[in-house]
C-alpha cells in the first residue's frame, strides 16, 4: 500500500500553475497521450466526434425572454460561441433567422482574453425589462467567473454598469438599479469551500465592498446566496444558506427582516406563487404525521408561516420509483417520476385547497423525458425533451390547458419542434435493462447496449460507465459520440445505476454515504461480473470510465478490482482522499465522503482513497488519467499525483491535462473532441475493438 498519506513526495504537483508542476504536465502530455493522438485512427475518431459536436443540425436549446428565444451556440465557425436570439415563429422553421447578441470569439479577440460562456440572467421587471442582462464569463472554463451588465438593445456591455470581479459566486436582479450579489469582497468573505459567505444588496453606484449586507453565514458554512422572485403579485426576496451538502436553510427576506422557512435542514424548500413545496431527503414527523424521505409536500406559504402544518402529500416514493424532478407552470405542477429508471410524467393542479391529478397525455414513451417551463410566471407551456439510447432526442412545445376538463384531465397539446439528427446506425443495436446482485444481495440495475448478433462468448469490447454519488441519476440518453465512436464500431456499452446515485431516491443515495461508500464500488464490481457471467464480455475486453466523483469510482475499480478490467479511464477525478477537503471546493463534499482530519472518519475514508490504496507491487490494467489545469472545483493535483506515483512504479499510465476546460475538461468543441477521442481510442486499443 502507498505511503502517500504520511510522506507525500508529490505534494509539489498541487501547485496548479507552478512552473515545476507545469513542466511535469507538459512532459507527460508529450508522452503516451501524444503518441496515441498521432495515429490515423485517432484523427479519424476525433474528426468524427468534432463533426457531431459542431453539427448545425443539433437542437438549439432555447429560453424565452420577452418576445425572443435565446440560445447559446458553438460550431466550427464559432469556437467559443454565439449568444443569439430568434422568435418562436422563426424557431418553428427548418432554418430559423438568428440575430447575434454577443460573439464570444470576437469579444476574446478584442479583449485579449480566453472567455468561456457561463450564462446570463435578464432583468424581467421595470422600465428596462428584457433590455438589460448580467452576463457571466469564465477564464478558461473555471468555476470562478465575472459578471458584467449588458444592454440587449445596443448589444454592448454597459459603460460603468454592474461589474462583479472574478470569483465564485453570482448575482440576482432585484430591479434595474439593484442586484443581490454574493462573491469575494475581501478577506473572510468566502467559505472554506471557496464559495461566498456573505450576500449583499448592491445598489447602482455603490462600491461592491460597501454594498448592504443582508446575510452573513458562519465560517463553517458552504455557500450563501440571495435571490429575487419577480413573479407579478408574488415578488419576494430569499436568502439561501447551504450549511453543507444536504443541509440547507431558506429565509424569506423582507427589508432587513429574515424569516426562516422552518423545515428540516435536510429537505429542499421551494416557493411558487402562493405555494411552498418541501422535498424530503429523510423521514419527517410533523403535526402528528410521519412523511417518508423522498416525498414531496405542499402547503400555502402564508399558512405555513402562520404555524399551520397540514401538508398535501403530492408524491410518496415506492421501492421501484423516485421523484426525479418537479416543474411548475403558471397553473400546474408537473412531476417527473423514475420508475425503475424510466421516466413518467404526471400533472397536479391546485384546486379547493388540494391538488387534482391528471395523466400527461401524449408524453413520449421513451427512456428519458424531461420538461422545463417556458415561463412559469405567466405560461402553462413547457419545453419537452424525449430521448433514449437509440432514438435521437426530440424537442416539443407542450401546452397545458389552464384547468382540468369535465373528465378531470388536463388537456395537453404537444407540438414537435426539433429533432436531433441520426448520428449513427442503430438498426442492429438493442437496449436492455438487467439487474446485477451486489455483495450484500442488493439488486443493482444497469442498461446494456449491444448488437443483436452479439456472440455471448466474452469477446465483445465493452465500456462500463458509472457515477454513484451526490444523488445524481444516470438515465437513458442519446449520444451521437458514443454511438459513432464505440457502438457503431462493434463495442457494447453498459450504464450502471449504482448506489450513491438518485435512481431510487434519497435512500439509494444515502446507502453509500461515508462509511458505506464501499457499497457503490461493490455495486459497480457486481455489474462488471454480471456482464462477464452473461457472456457479453470478459475482463480483458471490459473497460470502465467515470469522471469527477465517477473518477473516484473508477480509481477504486483500478485499485480494488483490477482483475475485472482490461482498461480504466479516470477523468477530472478525486483520488487523494486524505487531502481532498483541503483542495479547492473539496471541503464542501465532506457530507458525502467524511472528514479525513477526524481519525475515526479517516479510518473508513482511507479504504476508498485510491492514492493510498495503490500498491507498487500489484498488477493493474492500463489507465488513462485526464484533467484540466483550469479545474477549480476538483484539484488537478489528484490526477497528477496518482499518475506520478504509478509512473514511478512502472505502471501503464497515459496522462493528459488540458490547459483549459474547468471541471468539464474542455472549453471548446475542438478540445472536447480531442479529450473524447483520447478516451475512445485508448479503450479501443486496449480492449481490442480494432
* 538 pLDDT more than 80: yes
C-alpha 386/C-alpha 393 separation (Å) is 6
The three cell numbers locating residue 64: 424565452
C-alpha 632/C-alpha 16 separation (Å) is 9
* 298 pLDDT more than 60: yes
CATH number 3.90.1300.10 is the correct assignment for the domain at 11-52+424-687? no
The three cell numbers locating residue 566: 482490461
pLDDT tens by residue, 104-153: 999 999 999 999 999 999 999 988 899 999 999 999 999 999 999 999 99
332-352: burial string, b at 16+ Cβ within 10 Å, e else: bbbbbbbeebbbbbbbbbbee
Q: Which of 541, 612, 663, 674 is catalytic?
A: 663
Cα-Cα-Cα-Cα dihedral sign, residues 527, 529, 535, 540 = positive
The arithmetic mean of pLDDT across residues 167-192, rounded, is: 97
* pLDDT value of position 423: 97
Beta strands in 143-235 (DSSP E): 145-151, 156-157, 163-167, 170-175, 178-182, 198-203, 212-216, 223-229
The arithmetic mean of pLDDT across residues 435-454, rounded, is: 98
* 663 pLDDT more than 50: yes
The arithmetic mean of pLDDT across residues 292-303, rounded, is: 98
Q: Which of 548, 581, 588, 628 is catalytic?
A: 548
* 5 pLDDT more than 60: no
Among 480, 670, 682, which Cα is nearest to 569's?
A: 682
**Are the C-beta atoms of residues 536 and 450 closer than 8 Å to each other?**
yes
C-alpha 501/C-alpha 256 separation (Å) is 39
* 453 pLDDT more than 50: yes
The arithmetic mean of pLDDT across residues 568-591, rounded, is: 97
Residue 548 bears catalytic tag: yes
pTM of the model: 0.95
- Listed in sequence order, the residues at least 6 apart from 391 whose beta carbon sits closer than 8 Å to its beta carbon are 366, 426, 478
Among 22, 207, 34, which Cα is nearest to 674's?
A: 34
C-alpha 106/C-alpha 379 separation (Å) is 36
* 3 pLDDT more than 50: no
354-385: burial string, b at 16+ Cβ within 10 Å, e else: ebbebebeebbebbbbbbebbebbeebbbbbb
Q: What percent of the chain clears pLDDT 70, i.e. is strictly above it?
A: 99
**Are the C-beta atoms of residues 592 and 647 closer than 8 Å to each other?**
no
Q: Which of 220-234, 354-368, 444-458 has the lowest mean pLDDT?
A: 354-368
Cα distances (Å, whole numbers) of residue 274 to 306, 330, 349, 353, 602: 13, 11, 13, 11, 46
* 45 pLDDT more than 60: yes
pLDDT tens by residue, 455-509: 999 999 999 999 999 999 999 999 999 999 999 999 999 999 999 999 999 999 9
* 660 pLDDT more than 90: no
**Domain residue ranges in the chain:** 11-52+424-687, 261-317, 324-420
The three cell numbers locating residue 497: 445505476
The arithmetic mean of pLDDT across residues 346-374, rounded, is: 92
Averaged pLDDT of the chain: 96
C-alpha 449/C-alpha 533 separation (Å) is 16
* pLDDT value of position 6: 59
Amino acid at each position: 500500500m502507498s505511503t502517500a498519506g504520511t510522506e507525500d513526495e508529490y505534494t509539489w504537483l498541487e501547485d496548479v500553475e507552478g512552473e515545476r508542476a507545469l513542466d511535469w504536465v507538459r512532459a507527460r502530455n508529450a508522452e503516451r497521450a501524444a503518441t496515441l493522438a498521432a495515429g490515423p485512427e485517432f484523427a479519424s475518431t476525433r474528426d468524427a466526434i468534432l463533426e457531431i459536436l459542431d453539427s448545425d443540425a443539433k437542437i438549439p436549446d432555447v429560453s424565452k425572454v420577452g418576445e425572443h428565444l435565446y440560445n447559446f451556440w458553438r460550431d466550427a465557425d464559432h469556437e467559443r460561441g454565439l449568444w443569439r436570439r430568434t422568435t418562436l415563429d422563426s424557431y418553428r422553421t427548418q432554418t430559423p433567422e438568428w440575430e447575434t447578441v454577443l460573439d464570444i470569439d470576437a469579444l476574446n479577440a478584442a479583449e485579449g482574453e480566453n472567455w468561456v460562456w457561463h450564462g446570463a440572467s435578464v432583468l424581467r421587471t421595470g422600465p428596462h425589462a428584457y433590455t438589460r442582462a448580467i452576463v457571466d464569463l469564465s477564464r478558461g472554463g473555471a468555476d470562478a467567473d465575472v459578471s458584467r451588465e449588458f444592454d440587449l438593445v445596443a448589444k454592448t456591455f454597459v459603460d460603468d454598469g454592474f461589474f462583479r470581479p472574478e470569483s465564485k459566486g453570482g448575482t440576482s436582479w432585484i430591479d434595474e438599479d439593484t442586484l443581490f450579489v454574493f462573491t469575494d469582497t475581501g478577506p473572510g468573505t468566502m467559505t472554506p469551500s471557496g464559495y461566498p459567505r456573505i450576500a449583499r444588496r448592491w445598489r447602482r453606484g455603490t462600491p461592491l465592498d460597501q454594498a448592504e449586507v443582508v446575510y452573513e453565514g458562519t465560517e463553517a458554512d458552504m455557500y450563501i446566496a440571495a435571490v429575487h422572485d419577480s413573479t407579478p403579485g408574488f415578488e419576494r426576496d430569499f436568502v439561501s444558506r447551504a450549511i453543507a451538502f444536504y443541509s440547507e436553510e431558506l429565509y424569506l427576506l423582507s427589508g432587513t427582516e429574515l424569516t426562516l422557512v422552518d423545515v428540516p435542514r435536510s429537505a429542499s424548500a421551494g416557493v411558487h406563487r402562493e405555494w411552498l413545496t418541501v422535498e424530503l431527503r429523510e423521514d419527517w414527523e410533523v403535526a402528528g404525521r410521519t412523511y417518508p424521505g423522498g416525498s414531496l409536500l405542499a402547503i400555502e406559504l402564508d399558512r405555513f408561516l402562520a404555524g399551520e402544518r397540514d401538508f398535501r402529500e403530492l408524491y410518496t416514493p415506492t421501492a421501484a420509483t423516485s421523484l426525479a424532478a418537479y416543474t411548475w407552470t403558471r397553473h400546474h405542477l408537473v412531476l417527473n417520476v423514475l420508475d425503475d429508471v424510466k421516466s413518467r410524467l404526471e400533472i397536479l393542479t391546485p384546486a379547493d385547497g388540494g391538488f387534482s391529478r391528471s395523466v400527461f397525455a401524449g408524453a413520449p414513451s421513451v427512456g428519458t423525458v424531461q420538461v422545463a417551463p417556458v415561463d412559469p410566471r405567466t405560461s402553462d407551456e413547457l419545453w419537452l425533451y424525449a430521448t433514449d439510447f437509440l432514438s435521437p432526442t426530440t424537442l416539443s412545445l407542450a401546452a397545458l390547458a389552464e384547468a382540468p376538463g369535465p373528465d378531470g384531465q388536463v388537456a395537453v397539446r404537444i407540438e414537435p419542434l426539433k429533432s436531433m439528427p441520426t448520428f449513427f446506425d442503430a438498426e442492429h443495436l438493442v437496449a436492455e435493462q438487467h439487474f446485477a446482485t451486489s455483495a450484500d444481495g442488493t439488486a443493482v440495475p444497469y442498461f446494456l447496449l449491444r448488437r443483436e448478433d452479439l456472440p455471448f462468448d466474452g469477446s465483445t469490447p465493452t465500456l462500463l460507465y458509472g457515477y454513484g454519488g451526490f444523488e445524481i441519476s444516470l438515465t437513458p440518453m442519446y449520444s451521437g459520440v458514443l454511438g459513432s465512436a464505440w457502438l457503431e464500431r462493434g463495442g457494447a456499452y453498459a450504464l450502471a445505476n449504482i448506489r450513491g446515485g438518485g435512481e431510487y431516491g434519497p435512500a439509494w443515495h444515502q446507502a453509500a454515504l461515508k462509511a458505506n461508500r464501499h457499497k457503490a464500488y461493490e455495486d459497480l464490481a457486481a455489474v462488471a461480473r454480471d456482464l462477464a457471467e452473461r457472456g457479453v464480455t470478459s475482463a480483458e475486453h471490459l473497460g470502465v470510465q467515470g469522471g469527477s466523483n465517477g473518477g473516484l469510482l473508477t480509481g477504486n475499480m483500478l485499485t480494488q478490482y483490477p482483475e475485472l478490467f482490461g482498461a480504466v479511464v479516470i477523468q477530472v477525478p478525486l483520488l487523494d482522499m486524505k487531502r481532498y477537503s483541503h483542495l479547492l471546493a473539496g471541503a464542501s463534499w465532506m457530507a458525502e465522503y467524511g472528514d479525513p482530519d477526524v481519525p475515526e472518519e479517516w479510518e473508513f475514508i482511507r479504504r476508498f482513497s485510491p492514492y493510498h490504496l495503490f500498491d507498487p507491487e500489484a498488477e493493474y490494467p492500463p489507465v488513462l488519467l485526464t484533467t484540466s489545469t483550469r479545474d477549480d472545483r476538483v484539484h488537478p493535483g489528484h490526477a497528477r499525483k496518482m499518475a506520478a506515483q504509478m509512473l514511478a512504479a512502472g505502471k501503464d499510465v497515459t496522462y493528459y491535462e488540458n490547459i483549459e476546460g474547468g471541471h468539464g475538461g474542455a472549453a471548446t468543441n475542438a478540445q472536447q473532441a480531442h479529450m473524447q477521442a483520447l478516451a475512445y481510442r485508448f479503450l479501443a486499443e486496449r480492449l481490442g475493438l480494432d
